[in-house]
Amino acid sequence: MAITKKSTKNNLSKKVISSTPLFPNGFWQQNLLAGITLFVIAIGLYAYSTTFDYLLDDQVVLTNNSFTKKGLDGIYDIMTKESFVGRFGEQKNLVTGARYRPLSIVTFAIEHQFFGLNTVVSHTINVILYALLGLLLFRIFSLFFPQKDTSSWYFSLPFLATLLFIVHPVHTEVVANVKGRDEIMTLLGALGALYCTFKFVTTNKPIFLFFAGCTFFLALLSKENALTFLAVIPISLYFFTKTTTKKIAFSLVPLFIAAATYLWVRYLVIGYFLSSDGAPITDIMNNPFYGLSANEKFATVFYTLGLYIKLLFFPHPLTHDYYPYQIPIINWADIRAIIPVITYMGLGIITLIGWRKKTVLAYGIIVYLSTLSIVSNIPFTVGTFMNERFLFMPSIGFCLILTWLLMEKLPTVIKQYPLKNQAIANYAGLGLLSIFLLGFTYKTIDRVPDWKNRMTLNLSGAAASPNSARANCFLGTAIFETEYKPSNDNTHKKELIKEIAYFIDRALAIHPTYGSALIMHSGVVAEEYKYDQDLKKLLKEFYFILTKKTNVPFVGTYLAHLSSRADQQQLADFAYKTGYQYFGETKKDYNNAIKYLNYGLQAAPNNRTLLQSMGNIYQLMGNNQKAATYFARIQ
């Protein structure tokens, strides 16, 4: 049979196709097993979270956000307004500097457009992004520590450091809580900018500078924390390349352009950088340092900085709640403040010593300190004492340091001593690192289910944060909403209301003027009144609530409800004590005085004391005509 031109062409095509590898020749072809392993472990650890509910601030960015509910039509509003506006309808000065983190909220709007409020989709995206983040971190570590022999990839520093990062339990809040997507996207963008800048320096291809600027801008749109990579990226180039200072400076140009553009856009959207009018945030739930001396503030800050190091090594207990006063207020006479200061001074000295030698230890410390600085409460207050999600970026430095110390440094130190079995030197570090890996994996598996729903999270929060007013209040509220209200068993409800009252009372014992707890307390005492009909106790608790928080709408509503159903004299006495004596005479708050006197008059329209009090209030307000109408009713 003759070989035709067509058959020859087909044979050549088949030969080319058969010789073409499934993946192009390069890093991922050589590290395919390592990549798959890291990806599968990340997915496996958090796969269960895809069945979880929306929780906590998910309502701010997704479930109760009017912009995300518009789907694609809401993206313009998301990009052009402060990040709380979609939830509250207006820009509020809730936290210092407000918030402009639109990118993750845009992804929620896109989700809503195509899937509605779908918890499975939301959580699945978080898990996949986290797994991809692990691959990117592995790629960057491999640039820093290239492996000549890929046959033992499972013992390599890049693989083990990345694995340690993936399994670290302090990341559970970021991955298992949908709102945590902003943290994942920020780190993806920041590491992407680091990768692209590194590639520019090593390849001289300008296109990488363009990609670096773009990814960094996206990181900033996710969260401001990415600004810390303006320090991390040049330091990484200094430590792991032989490039010149001039080239490093040139490579930073697109990053600074991206940062300047973001800050300019942020200013245009919000209208200010730190505060709209210079007034401090006085709500300790959004500014826990309000009212503290500098001594107390910074001693407490360093105490939390010490806790961060402790959580990196020993992540137990874990909690989503570090609100007042789970973190106690301390001063410089407390050893819990002094030890962290000494520790961080030591880290600074180690960094200075290792700078010239470009040691891994110095680099890891710099990454940790740089990325933690912006949320440390030292340059400015971030709205809470501390949070485990604040360790998401800094933990990169920790994971690199720990892996390097155990896999590289420890064997070198051991080999300096005469040993009968040198294998000890090779496997001692691996054994210790395995303990960390197994312990962290177990803790992550144990912690993830806490994020399943409102009850599981608040039960774990109150157990781990017994001194937090917020944790106790949230647990009491969760029991009220998920167990008490749906129940039709009065006997069971009587027991539940006692349990709810216990947690609300604990919250108020910790923070007596806590608004959310006072509001819940008003509902609890009203429910208790249904069972015990003790009006005197109810009115006593209402008075306590109103002296702590003026505006509790439920109290007024319930007083109106009681006006025709309860003892008129007791209601009148309460109205006089609250409306006239407290709001009128003590607070000089005449509008509230009138409001509560009116509640009393609804129950006892002809009560002479209330009519006289009402006339007196209007007289103090300068409205003599109105005062005269009440005085006339006394006759």
Tens of pLDDT, residues 502-560: 999 999 999 999 999 999 999 999 999 999 999 999 999 999 999 999 889 999 999 99
Identify the pLDDT of residue 18: 41
Average the pLDDT over 49-73 and give the result.
96
Query: Are residues 516 and 548 in contact, defined by beta-carbon separation less than 8 angstroms?
Result: no
Least confident of 88-97, 233-242, 266-275, 435-444: 88-97
- In this prediction, residues 444-462 reach a mean pLDDT of 97
From-to residues of CATH 1.25.40 in the chain: 454-634
Looking at residue 275, its pLDDT comes to 66
The CA distance from 518 to 616, in Å, is 30
According to DSSP H, which parts of 374-468 are helical?
A: 395-404, 410-414, 423-447, 454-464
Q: Is the pLDDT of residue 338 over 60?
A: yes
Distances (CA, A) of 542 to 346, 536, 554, 577, 589: 54, 10, 10, 11, 18
Rounded to an integer, the average pLDDT of 300-327 is: 97
Looking at residue 12, what is its pLDDT?
39
> Per-residue pLDDT averaged across 385-407, rounded?
97
User: What mean pLDDT comes out for the span 410-414?
Assistant: 85
pLDDT of residue 551: 87
**Does residue 14 surpass a pLDDT of 50?**
no
Please determine, for residue 419, whether its predicted confidence score (pLDDT) is greater than 80: no
Q: Given this model, what pLDDT does residue 427 score?
A: 84
Report the pLDDT averaged over residues 599-628: 93
Separation between Cα atoms, residue 394 and residue 190, nearest integer Å: 13
Residue range 344-379, pLDDT digits in tens: 999 999 999 999 999 999 999 999 999 999 999 999
- Give the DSSP per-residue string, 520-580: HHHHHHHHHHHHH--HHHHHHHHHHHHHH-S--HHHHHHHHHHTTTS-HHHHHHHHIIIII
Q: CA–CA separation, 393 vs 372, rounded Å?
A: 8
Residue burial 281-304, b: 16+ Cβ < 10 Å; e: rest:
beebbbbbbeebeeebbbbbbbbb
Q: Which fold has domain 454-634?
A: 1.25.40
Contact 179, 65 (CB under 8 A): no
Point out the least confidently predicted range of 49-53, 95-99, 392-396, 520-524. 95-99
In SS3 terms, 58-104 reads as HHHHHHCCCCHHHHHHHHHHHHHCCCCHHHHCCCCCCCCCCCCCHHH
Amino acid identity, residue 2? A
The amino acid at 297? K
Residue 605 is given by DSSP the state T
Going by the DSSP 8-state scheme, the letter that residue 152 receives in this structure is: G
Percent of the chain exceeding pLDDT 70 equals 94
DSSP assignment of 156-174 equals SHHHHHHHHHHH-GGGHHH
Reference 129, options 90, 195, 182, 168; nearest CA is 182
Residue 24 banded pLDDT, cuts 50, 70, 90 = very low
Whether 583 shows a pLDDT value over 80: the answer reads yes
Question: Is residue 221 within 8 Å of residue 190, measured between CB atoms?
Answer: no
**pTM, to two decimals:** 0.91
Quick check: 586 and 596 in contact, CB under 8 A? no
Buried-state track 190-202, b at ≥16 Cβ within 10 A, e below 16 = bbbbbbbbbbbbe
Per-residue model confidence (pLDDT) at position 276: 62
What's the pLDDT score for residue 25?
57
What is the average pLDDT score of the chain?
A: 92
Between these two residues, 226 and 566, which has the higher pLDDT value?
Answer: 226
pLDDT for position 93: 72
Mean pLDDT of 271-291: 81
- pLDDT exceeds cutoff 80 at 390: yes
Q: What percent of the chain has pLDDT over 90?
A: 85
231-243 average pLDDT score: 97
In angstroms, the CA 164 to CA 169 distance is: 10
